[in-house]
Amino acid sequence: MLSFFKDVFSQPAFLMGIMAFIGLVLLKSPVNKILTGTLKPIMGYLMLGAGASVIVAELTPLGKIIEAGFNIKGVVPNNEAIVSIAQQVLGVETMSILLLGFVFNLVIAKVTKYKYIFLTGHHSFFMACLLSAVLQASGLRGTELVVFGGFFLGAWSAISPAIGQRLTKVVSDDDGIAMGHFSSIQYYISGYLAKKLSQFGLSNPNNTFANVQISEKWGFLRDTTVTTGVVMVVIYLFTSIAAGSEFMKTISDQNLVIYAVLAGLKFAVGVAIVYAGVKLILGDLVPAFQGISRKLIPNAIPAVDCAVFFTYSQTAVVVGFITSFIGGLIGMGILGILSLPLIIPGMVPHFFCGATAGIYGDKLGGKLGCIVGAFIGGLMLAFLPAFLLPALGNLGFESTTFSDIDFTVLGIVLSNVHTFLGINGIYLLTAVFVVVLVVPSFIKSIKVVGDTKPYEELAREINLKND
């Protein structure tokens, strides 16, 4: 039974479908609308996942090619890899924290001003794994470990979307969604820095990559899929030549040039699939949420995966990825100079997190905001995983670690609190989270949701976009 619930709650597609189903039932929608409104978000997320799988499949060998081409050895941050290692010793704890964390998230959304329901199930799974590892290294065991881990997961699932919701509303054109991805701190920092650049007159927030006008001469670049394909073909070709034909034979039996061209274009196809999946998700999930908002959890807001935001500034996706990767390379060099653990830029986090940081920077501070925000995020993706390694106990000796910023920040904070204050430090941090969750409910002037368009208006706008 535990395995069944683990499979359900670790799948964002099922979570989105369940939430859409509940919302439509509460709205007393006809059976045909319940069926389509439930299945479309599920299929949309499966489509998004299929596109992400294509992207990951093409990025994974690229990391190896870069290592070989430039003779780099070190730790490669990868959530899937570290989680697979951790499950060998922390499987039961992780699953228990995952389930309890989702329950805490729903309770918090119901009784506090934090009305966010975190729907990115695989990231909840990764965070549950991180918490089980760090809390066990801190000395917690059994029920105590699961309860504290579940609370931290549920609390952060509600707090992290709220921290930057005012920024997210601008980025998403107030589409009634929140950021449900555990690199949210990186995105909010990017957006904040971009706003400051525009306030100081260093950037024009209206001159964005989202609004970029391409001349007829370069008209083929107006198609984001084509632009992505061209850029990635160049990257694959350059790195493959650097790695050499002998090494490339271990990657593929194809000719080096043919492999580079196909890999770059497959990557672009994966991005296109992601965009199509996002359209299906938003088309039915947000309107269905008005049922939950009206009947079950007033003003509930779905917190969704970072890839859902890719459609808001598609050119910034490519610019953010490249700029973040450059930041990661520079960060790796600085780590080497400081004799710290060498963090090799992971292509997957730099793509998804760098792209999203770029989108926040672009929408809030224009082109310069996109570049600066993604670059700073790339540096964070280099330094913070290095500082997290000691917090993971025995897992810290493996050749991989968690990548995304929320994982590293929360892990580092929990570890250091325990180091300086012992187990009482964990209790104190729990009390701080409780205060953060409860106090706004007693202060009328504090809003952690912000003014959000009525779901009926959002539904009408989304239907117009889909027509």
pLDDT tens sequence across 167-202? 999 999 888 899 999 999 999 999 999 999 999 888
pLDDT of residue 67: 79
Say what the pLDDT of residue 455 is: 45
The CA angle 208-210-211, to the nearest 5 degrees, is 70
- At 167, which amino acid appears? L
Q: How many CB atoms lie within 10 A of CB 238?
A: 14
Quick: pLDDT tens for 64-120.
887 788 777 777 787 766 776 676 667 778 878 887 898 899 899 999 999 999 988
> What Å distances lie between residue 227 and 200, 222, 263, 363, 368, CA to CA?
32, 7, 14, 20, 20
For residue 147, the model assigns a pLDDT of 95
For the chain, 467 residues long, give each residue's pLDDT as a single digit of tens. 666 766 776 676 787 788 788 888 888 889 998 998 889 888 887 887 788 788 778 877 887 887 788 777 777 787 766 776 676 667 778 878 887 898 899 899 999 999 999 988 778 888 988 999 888 888 888 889 999 999 999 999 999 999 999 999 999 988 889 999 999 999 999 999 999 999 988 888 888 998 876 556 655 555 667 777 887 898 889 889 999 999 999 999 899 999 999 998 998 888 788 778 867 776 777 677 667 766 788 888 999 999 889 989 988 998 999 999 999 999 999 998 998 888 888 778 898 999 999 999 999 999 999 999 999 999 999 999 988 887 776 554 455 678 899 999 999 999 899 889 988 999 999 999 999 999 988 877 666 765 555 444 544 554 444 44
Position 355 scores a pLDDT of 93
The string of pLDDT tens digits covering residues 191-200 is 999 999 999 8
Count, residues in the chain:
467
| 443 class by beta-carbon count within 10 Å (0-12 exposed, 13-18 middle, 19+ buried) | exposed
CA distance 370 to 354: 10
CA 222 from chain centre, in angstroms, equals: 26
Q: What is the DSSP code (8-state) at residue 345?
A: P
* Nearest by Cα to 324 from 377, 267, 382, 268: 377
pLDDT of residue 4: 73
CA separation for the pair 79, 62 (Å, rounded): 17
**What integer best gives the mean pLDDT of the chain?**
84
Angle between helices 12-26 and 2-9 (to 10 degrees): 80
Structure tokens at 259: 């492999």
The C-alpha angle with vertex 382 and arms to 153 and 148, in degrees rounded to 5, equals: 15
pTM (whole model) above 0.75? yes
Asked if residue 177 lies in contact with residue 369, where contact means CB atoms within 8 angstroms, the answer is no
Q: Given this model, what pLDDT does residue 215 score?
A: 57
Q: Take residue 417 and report the two structure tokens written for it.
A: 């609190």
Nearest Cα residue to 330 out of 374, 370, 365, 360: 374
